[in-house]
C-alpha cells in the first residue's frame, strides 16, 4: 500500500453523515468512494473492489447485512460496520454476516481511523504470516491428521486446507487461527486475542472474538456443533488443541 492512497468505499445513505465522514477520511489519506444504497455499494465493489469498506446497517431496500453477505461471497476485503444500532443482536448479526469490526454511532472519527489503520496493517501483513510473529514462517502445521482430509495450516502461504480443498477463511479468521495455533495447548483470553488479532484492544469488544470463533469453527471443525479443535475454556477464553 505504500505510496498509494488506500481506496475506501463509504456506504451511508444519510448525506449529513456521509459527507463530513468522507472529508475526515480524505484528510487521513484515504481515497474515498461513496455509495448511498446497498445496491450501488455491491455494484461498485464488483466493478472496482476497494481496499476497505465502511458500511451502515440501515440503508433501505438492501440493508447493510445484505451488503456484507453479498460482498463476502466473492471478496475478502476488510469491512467495518458503522451503525446507530447498538443492540447485541445487531452487532452479532453483522459480525456473523462477515464484518470484521463494528463501531456504534455517535462515534469519534479518530476511533474509525484507528480501526482502519489496524485493518490496513493486518491486510499489509497477510501475505503469509499472522502479523505478529505468531507462527514461524515457512512452517506447515497439521492441526487435524484426519487420514481422509487432514487440516493443514500454511502461514507462509496464508492458506488453510482440508484435504485438497482450500478453506475460504477471511483475513480475521486466518489470523485468529494462527494466533491460537501459535499458543496451541494454552488458553488465550479474549482480551489477548483482541490485542493480537484486531490490534486495538482498547477499543475492542470481546463479542468480536466470540463471533469470529464461531465462524472459524464452521470452517475448520469436523463437527462445529461439538468443537474439539478450538475449544472454549469457560471463564478464561479459547484454546486450540491439535488433534
- CATH number for the domain harbouring residue 54: 3.40.50.2300
Print the domain residue range for 181: 141-240
pLDDT at 139 over 80: no
- Helix, strand, or coil (residue 33): strand
pLDDT digits (tens, 9 = 90+) for 150-171: 999 998 888 999 999 999 888 8
Average pLDDT of every residue of the chain: 85
User: Does 115 share its domain with 178?
Assistant: no
Total tally of structural domains belonging to the chain? 2
Among residues 178, 184, 179, the alpha carbon closest in space to that of 158 is found at: 178
Q: Is residue 217 part of a domain?
A: yes
Task: Render pLDDT for 200-227 as a digit per residue (tens, 0 to 9).
Answer: 654 557 888 999 999 999 999 999 999 9
Residue 204: per-residue pLDDT: 57
For residues 133-149, average pLDDT:
73
- Per the domain annotation, does 134 fall within a domain? no
Tell whether 135 is covered by a domain: no
Distance of alpha carbon 126 from alpha carbon 176, whole angstroms: 12
Grid cell, residue 243, equals 488433534
pLDDT at 132: 38
- Residues 101 and 92: their CA atoms lie apart, in Å, by 10
Q: Based on the fold, state whether residues 119 and 223 are members of the same structural domain.
A: no
233 three-state secondary structure: strand
Give the pTM. 0.72
Same structural domain for residues 157 and 216? yes
What would the 3-class secondary structure string for 81-115 be?
Answer: EEECCCCHHHHHHHHHHCCCEEEECCCCHHHHHHH
Q: Clarify whether residues 99 and 182 are in a common domain.
A: no
Question: 225: which 3 cell numbers?
Answer: 456443533
- Residues 102 and 208: their CA atoms lie apart, in Å, by 8
Predicted confidence (pLDDT) per residue in 22-54, tens digit: 998 999 889 999 999 999 999 999 999 999 999
Burial class (CB in 10 A: 0-12, 13-18, 19+), 150: middle
CATH number, domain at 233?
A: 1.10.10.10
| Rg, the chain, Cα only | 18
Burial class, 20, CB count within 10 angstroms (exposed 0-12 / middle 13-18 / buried 19+): exposed
Phi/psi at 209 (5° precision)? -65, -50
Amino acid at each position: 500500500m505504500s505510496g498509494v492512497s488506500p481506496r475506501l468505499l463509504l456506504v451511508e445513505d444519510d448525506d449529513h453523515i456521509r459527507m463530513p465522514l468522507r472529508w475526515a477520511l480524505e484528510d487521513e489519506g484515504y481515497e474515498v468512494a461513496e455509495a448511498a444504497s446497498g445496491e450501488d455499494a455491491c455494484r461498485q465493489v464488483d466493478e472496482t473492489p476497494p481496499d476497505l469498506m465502511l458500511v451502515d446497517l440501515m440503508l433501505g431496500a438492501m440493508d447493510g447485512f445484505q451488503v456484507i453477505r453479498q460482498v463476502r461471497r466473492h471478496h475478502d476485503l476488510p469491512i467495518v460496520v458503522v451503525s446507530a444500532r447498538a443492540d447485541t443482536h445487531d452487532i452479532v448479526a453483522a459480525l456473523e454476516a462477515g464484518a470484521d469490526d463494528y463501531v456504534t454511532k455517535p462515534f469519534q472519527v479518530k476511533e474509525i481511523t484507528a480501526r482502519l489503520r489496524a485493518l490496513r496493517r493486518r491486510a499489509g501483513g497477510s501475505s503469509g504470516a499472522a502479523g505478529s510473529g505468531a507462527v514461524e514462517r515457512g512452517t506447515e502445521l497439521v492441526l487435524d491428521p484426519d487420514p481422509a482430509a487432514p487440516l493443514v495450516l500454511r502461514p507462509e502461504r496464508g492458506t488453510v486446507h482440508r484435504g485438497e480443498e482450500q478453506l475460504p477463511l477471511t483475513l480475521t479468521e486466518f489470523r485468529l487461527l494462527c494466533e491460537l495455533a501459535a499458543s496451541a495447548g494454552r488458553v488465550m483470553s479474549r482480551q489477548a486475542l483482541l490485542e493480537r488479532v484486531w490490534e486495538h484492544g482498547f477499543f475492542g469488544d470481546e463479542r468480536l472474538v466470540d463471533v469470529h470463533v464461531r465462524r472459524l469453527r464452521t470452517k475448520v471443525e469436523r463437527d462445529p456443533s461439538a468443537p474439539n479443535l478450538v475449544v472454549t475454556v469457560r471463564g478464561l477464553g479459547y484454546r486450540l488443541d491439535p488433534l
